[in-house]
Chain A
Amino acid sequence: MIPASFDYHRPESLAAAVQLLGSLGEEARAVAGGHSLIPMMKLRMAVPEHLVDLRSIAELKGICIEGRAVSIGAMTTQAEVIASDALAQVCPILRETALQIADPQIRNLGTLGGNVANGDPGNDMPASMQVLDAQFEVAGPEGKRKIAARDFYEAAFFTALGEGEIMTAIHFEAPSASHGYAYEKQKRKIGDYATAAAAVILVMEGGRCSQASIGLTNLSDTPLYAQAASEALVGSSLDPAAIDAAVAAAEAIADPVTDSRGPSHFRRKLAGVMLRRAIASAQNRAA
């Protein structure tokens, strides 16, 4: 449980960080809250020779809300996400999701950017990023670009983040004020990753679901945007048949590994249960 030796750098600006990561090359890694990376280093599953700590870069922090446009700096901690009433006002699913991550000590250090950039299918935020159709802004040697959350995840720990790129911010349009939301997660204990979890955002108009968006956590080697399941709800009154169809569609794309949380078939069924509960709760909360 002792990491291999590494050099530590703490640049003060984004430009300096990009420059450092570029010049140090493949053996350098950005570190944010360190609560995914450092455990991996202690197990020597990650052996970076250089750590570039992003914590002193002021421009990577903070939550900015203009109308329904929301931008969150990558280095904003999970605790800060929870603490922001303004954010909870326009997009409460992020607080609900963040409260399901680990425990308060970890959330005080763990960042939103780290949680989504990490690429671990067990991370909770990526599913909510799927339902919000968020855009990840990154800066690298070639300048800045945006990557859609729904295109970001390629496989476990493989993302669209290029070599030397730093995630700077997360942008999304908050759903309409009347939306309902829920993040339902089953875990074995505090601090555990999901056995199965489902994120749901939906909008009801005149008793019919006009918009629905469903994401799933830890049920595949990437977070899942459950498009067919979402579509199964749209236009329905959320009647049992529509919900059954959505659950079936979600179960169909869930392909969880067998692990100590249970065998794959159990976790897939649980995905359906979490989704049912998330839909019910979102429906209750929809204005």
Chain B
Amino acid sequence: MNEQTPIAERAEKLQGLGCARKRVEDARFTQGKGNYVDDIKLNGMLFGDFVRSPYGHARIKGIDKEAALAVPGVLAVITAEDLIPLNLHYMPTLAGDVQAVLAHEKVLFQSQEVAFVVATDRYAAADGVELVEVDYEELPVVVDAAKAMAADAPLLREDIKDKDEGAHGPRKHHNHIFYWDAGDLEGTQRALSQAEVVAEESIAYQRVHPCPLETCGCVASMDKVNGKLTVWGTFQAPHAVRTVASLISNIPEHNIRIVSPDIGGGFGNKVGVYPGYICAIVASIVTGQPVKWIEDRIENLSSTAFARDYHMTGKIAATKEGKITGLQCHVLADHGAFDACADPTKFPAGFFHICTGSYDIPVAYVGVDGVYTNKAPGGVAYRCSFRVTEASYFIERMIDVLARKLEMDPAELRMKNFIAREQFPYTSALGWEYDSGNYHTAMAKAMETVGYQALRTEQAANREAFVRGETRSLMGIGVAFFTEIVGAGPVKNCDILGLGMFDSCEIRVHPTGSAIARLGTISQGQGHATTFAQILASEIGLPADRITVEEGDTDTAPYGLGTYGSRSTPVAGAATAMAGRKIRAKAQMIAAYLLEVHDDDLEWEVDRFQVKGNPERFKAMSEIAFAAYNQAIPGIEPGLEAVSYYDPPNMTYPFGAYICVVDVDVDTGVTDIRRFYALDDCGTRINPMVIEGQVHGGLTEALAIAMGQEIRYDEIGNVQGASLMDFFLPTAVETPTWETDHTVTPSPHHPIGAKGVGESPNVGGVPAFSNAVVDAFAHLGLTHTQMPHDHWRVWSVAQDLGLHG
């Protein structure tokens, strides 16, 4: 590379921002050469497996280990009694509650961990599990959040029965966890009572599960010689795990090393700390041998963190012309047996109060009651920022409900109420400061691209043909416009267990012009090794192919809060850019010395510093790197390294317009997604191909949730559908073609203007599908119907509307 090479060509060679660079991870994944936790094999490694509760609620009257201990290869059966002396029978949750590591005195949900069998191989462990005899006395079960707070509801949490004060304020009932609210109650009530039109709806977002392809697991290894504990595991936040492990085990933090190897999808499921991790660690400490614990699919779906289970009641006020004047929402949040939600500490309902969505709503109020039930704990952000998909589902359904009431087109109603471009930065009625947006433009582009008016005309014709008996299929058009809130978050109000939610990047530039960057985040499929190298390539002028990105090992990576809630690009991506800028600042001083000019006489251009007005005189970054290590430069330390800890000044607010067209077979309830158009605005686009991949994946998960996923419990607490026979994981056959599009509205406060995209398609997708299904029946009076829109529920709608004759 020399001065003759045109600028554009040099920039292209870097494969920096905006380049559809192929994912560097794929070489190993497509060859089956990934290294997941279950690939880890250590000498003398033992295996742990759980005895789990068959009941939703029962008292444990006794545990007989004898037969299990007699199985050849079984070394130990650990129960709560064994953990009590270590004070490890309960562990702190991320939400300020405690969770039983192994059930103590009673079990509170089916599949709860009761005993941990340790054996020389996983087969012996499984045989041991069969033979542990637990004597249970069944207790009455509560699986319905609405019934949990009845005066005579059975007491679930005996361990905290005398606590009137929870982590988030007073508890009003023995199964109550918290009440949390935001907004102006009085003002909202006034707006509702004075409104020309009020639309109301009860909207439940069913319990689902992130269901990553790889289940959760770990290998814990206590080295008794040097006192060091190493844990490899499926951790979306390895540093947080290290800190928590240190706090609860009293092992000094420098003696704990947490490693997240390749992770086969997380989607929020791998944020929390599970009993399996604790038991594997304890077993390794006790035996002095490494211990592996890997869940199977049924265990994953029935015991590790679920998502949603939000029961929302809303009222929306408007003028007759369709100008929204107020919004009220109450949520009954089913948290299961322990409050193990993964939210920033101050936000027990996450960022649910983004529920005013993309609309300029003058006044709003939301209140959330969290309750205990006999269901698995969790409440994680399944491919969304904290409770944002619930919020988006709520407002996007409410807008449609209001549109029906006003007899107005739902797209038009949205257009009428969008926050206008000039209103940004915009402070919402519930207190968020939206950084940037251009909603009208995005919506207009979406409507024009799909030919919205023509679709409505076609729909009118379809409805007439249906009446004439010429078709048994109804066409639905679903519109959703979402605003996300991602990139948690500013340390001033975002922490998890007291740990500020900044993130970090450390860069070492090597003498020959290549580099390694280490971050506090951890990819689970997002392609960080690809995209963070691109951010850096543009910042420091070294080709992305010469930059290694490494994450996940707490002994080497700088402290960070991990990857979830679309926070990696907004926070760690920003740290990467900022660290790169530190490198560049030092490089400028070195270049000035080498070129014998003043710093200020230099300008940066793609991959070099050149003398202003004299571009033939330059030093490329690779030359500067060499000099940094090999020349004694007065006043400048050798080396070229930087670290940045980035505390974001604000969240970022990606948005998008989605339109879905569905054909519903009223006789079978089968829905055919004929078309799905997704316009995403995630600010500056780092790698369009990776963005497209994220959008495809997110839309497919949105399809899964809207059309089929559900973790249901029967009335006696049996979990239903906790295997892939029933739990809907779409294959290529069930997945429609996705049309993607974009606009670009950079974030004004992010160093490169990027906002994050991984979760947008889930947040916007679910309401788009739901709105489409409801829209198919809207002319017959339907305003809302419960997700998932599986065959029988859709068929029931048709049945209830009398369409089956």
Contact = CB atoms under 8 A, between A and B. Distances in A.
A44 B298 CA distance: 13
A269 B805 CA distance: 12
A189 B671 CA distance: 12
Interface string B780-805: 00000000001110011000000010
B480 interface: no
Interface string B725-737: 1101011011000
B670 A186 contact: yes
B734 A4 contact: no
B122 interface: yes
B127 A266 contact: no
Contact of B721 (A103, A191, A260, A273): A260
Nearest to A272: B667
Given A1-B298, A2-B122, A4-B130, A189 B796 contact: no
B525 to A, nearest CB: 22
Contacts of B733: 189-190
B165 to A, nearest CB: 40
Contact of A44 (B130, B720, B731, B796): B130
A269 B725 contact: no
Contact of A195 (B127, B721, B791): B791
A130 B674 CA distance: 36
Contact of A188 (B126, B667, B708, B796): B708
Contact of B734 (A5, A189, A261, A266): A189
B493 interface: no
Contacts of A2: 122-123, 126
Contacts of A260: 712, 720-721, 726
B792 A192 contact: no
A266 B792 contact: yes
A188 B790 contact: yes
A223 B323 CA distance: 58
A263 B792 contact: yes
Contacts of A1: 296-298
A76 to B, nearest CB: 25
Interface string A178-209: 00000000101111100100000000000000
A282 interface: no
B792 A189 contact: no
A189 B297 contact: no
Contacts of B126: 2
The listed residue with most B CB atoms (<10 A of its CB), out of A1, A191, A260, A269, is A260
A278 interface: no
A25 interface: no
Main secondary structure of the interface of B (DSSP, over half): loop
A186 B667 CA distance: 12
A107 to B, nearest CB: 14
Nearest to B129: A2
Nearest to B297: A1
Interface size class of B (residues with CB under 8 A): 20 to 34
Contacts of B728: 188-189
A126 B655 CA distance: 52
A69 B792 CA distance: 41
A81 interface: no
A261 B130 contact: no
A277 to B, nearest CB: 9
A270 interface: yes
Contact of A186 (B721, B725, B734, B791): B791
A5 B708 contact: no
A273 B472 CA distance: 12
Interface string A267-279: 0011001000000
A189 B708 contact: yes
A43 to B, nearest CB: 8
A262 interface: yes
A270 B792 CA distance: 9
Contacts of A269: 795, 804
B731 A190 contact: yes
B441 interface: no
A21 to B, nearest CB: 25
B401 to A, nearest CB: 26
B520 to A, nearest CB: 34
A195 B708 CA distance: 14
A43 B789 CA distance: 29
Contacts of B296: 1
B538 to A, nearest CB: 43
Interface string A213-249: 0000000000000000000000000000000000000
Contact of B127 (A4, A186, A191, A263): A4
Contacts of A192: 725
A101 B733 CA distance: 14
The listed residue with most A CB atoms (<10 A of its CB), out of B296, B728, B791, is B791
A192 B721 CA distance: 13
B427 interface: no
B731 A189 contact: yes
B668 interface: yes
A189 B130 contact: no
A266 B123 contact: no
A195 B725 CA distance: 13
Nearest to B667: A273
The listed residue with most B CB atoms (<10 A of its CB), out of A4, A186, A191, A266, is A266
Interface in B636-654: none
B791 A262 contact: yes
A243 to B, nearest CB: 14
B123 A5 contact: yes
B791 A5 contact: no
Given A2-B126, A261-B792, A186 B720 contact: no
Nearest to A258: B792
A103 B734 CA distance: 13
A70 B733 CA distance: 33
Contacts of B791: 186, 188, 195, 261-262, 270
Nearest to B665: A273
A266 B796 contact: yes
Nearest to B720: A260
Contact of A266 (B297, B712, B731, B795): B795
A171 B344 CA distance: 66
A155 to B, nearest CB: 21
Interface string B100-144: 000000000000000000000011001100100000000000000
A188 B792 CA distance: 10
Contacts of A190: 731, 733-734
Contacts of A188: 708, 728, 790-791
A262 B734 CA distance: 19
Interface of A: 1-2, 4-5, 44, 103, 186, 188-192, 195, 260-263, 266, 269-270, 273
Given A5-B127, A261-B791, A270-B795, 8 more contacts: A1-B298, A4-B130, A188-B728, A192-B725, A195-B792, A260-B721, A262-B792, A262-B795
25 contacts: A1-B296, A1-B297, A1-B298, A4-B127, A4-B130, A186-B791, A188-B708, A188-B728, A188-B790, A189-B730, A189-B733, A189-B734, A190-B731, A190-B733, A190-B734, A192-B725, A195-B792, A260-B721, A261-B791, A261-B792, A262-B790, A263-B792, A266-B792, A266-B796, A270-B668
